[in-house]
Amino acid sequence: MVVETEIAQVDEYLDARGLACPMPLLKTKLALNAMRSGQVLKVSATDAGSERDFQRFAELSGHALLRSEQAAGEYHYWLRKN
């Protein structure tokens, strides 16, 4: 379940647009590994499968999927590292 919330601050941004599955998720994992607990990562992707992937990834990894949006063929995700 995605919690809709205002995101006060984004600590890192990952542009995964144009990448096919599983690359957006793999790059997200690497970016989160380099971040500190509590920091927020915003990811932009164009892969339609990323919606399912990011929600499941958050459930399994313990990272919080704070928000997700779809607009103009792009998908945007805000994750807080656990």
User: What domains lie within the chain, and their CATH numbers?
Assistant: 12-80 (3.30.110.40)
pLDDT confidence of residue 29: 97
- Of these residues, 21, 23, 35, 64, which one is catalytic? 21
Q: What does the pLDDT look like over 67-77, one tens digit per residue? A: 999 999 999 99
Query: Which residues lie below 8 Å from residue 31, measured CB to CB, with a gap of 6+?
Result: 12, 14, 41, 43
Q: Assign 55 to helix, strand or coil.
A: helix
What gap in Å lies between CA 14 and CA 31, rounded to an integer? 8
Entry pTM: 0.90
Q: What does the pLDDT look like over 24-47, one tens digit per residue? A: 999 999 999 999 999 999 999 999
Tokens found for residue 27: 């790059």
Catalytic, 21? Answer yes
pLDDT confidence of residue 11: 97
